[in-house]
Amino acid sequence: MILRLILFLLFLSPLSGVELKKENDNLLMNNWSIRLYSGYATHRPLIAIITYGDIRPEYHDTGIRGLDISHILVRNWKGYSVDWSFRLGYIHHLENGFQPNHNQYNIFFMVHYYTSFKGFPIRLFVGEGLSRAERVPYVEGRETRRLSDEKDSKLMNYINVGFDLKLGDLLGIQQWNHITIGLADSHRSGIYQKVKWFNHTQGGSNFITLFLEYSL
């Protein structure tokens, strides 16, 4: 799954992104950054989100707020316009009264790919790792129990996929280029009942998030 996602993102744009990367190395000059975000649950599957942009909200109106701390491990990987980072994430689930609010903790690796959209520089990214929630998120539990003979799991596979752009480019204020704004899907999954760690669950959850990321 993660390999197909990476390939999908890479083939969205030409490899001329290598030149764009050299022109935009100041996007995150430091190795550390922090991302602040907020979002809502959607009932749409991950593949529909990344291929069709289908981000309709789920009707229970649950949501999340969170932050990620990131450390860049490799820049310009093998000469390509690709950076790798390691991330730790904290999410607070807002369950709209259906169950108590609770926290979630993520650990994952992320790859950023520098490219452009209609001449405007952007970054595409996908992250892969693990997620543990104090409670199974309400909407996720409804889905996994329906598909998996009433099974759910606090520990799940984690994917974070989306895009961002420099706030300075967007507003024409180059002093703000250490801040990016973006859209991401925060996705938990049992990987089609294949993994014992995830209690052999099928299904999962998707939360569409809007974020700001600051280079520290």
**Which pLDDT value is given to residue 83?**
96
**Which pLDDT value is given to residue 28?**
43
DSSP 137-194: -HHHHHHHHHHTTT---SEEEEEEEEEEEEHHHHHT-GGGTTEEEEEEEEEEE-TTTT
| Cα–Cα distance, 74 to 26 (Å, whole number) | 15
The pLDDT profile of the chain, 216 residues, written as one tens digit per residue, is: 444 444 444 444 444 344 444 444 444 457 899 999 999 999 998 999 999 899 999 999 999 999 999 999 999 999 889 999 999 999 999 999 999 999 999 999 999 999 988 888 999 999 999 999 999 999 999 999 999 999 999 999 999 999 999 988 888 888 888 999 999 999 999 988 888 999 999 999 999 999 999 998
| Cα–Cα distance, 105 to 161 (Å, whole number) | 17
pTM for the predicted model, two decimal places: 0.86
Measure CA of the first residue to CA of the last residue in the chain; give whole Å.
32
Question: How many CA atoms does the CB half-sphere of 9 hold within 13 Å?
Answer: 25
Residue 11 sits at φ, ψ, to 5 deg, of: -85, 0
Overall size of the chain counted in residues: 216
CATH code of 2-215, in short, is: 2.40.160.20
- 203 Cβ contact list (under 8 Å, min separation 6): 140, 143, 144, 146, 147, 148, 189, 190
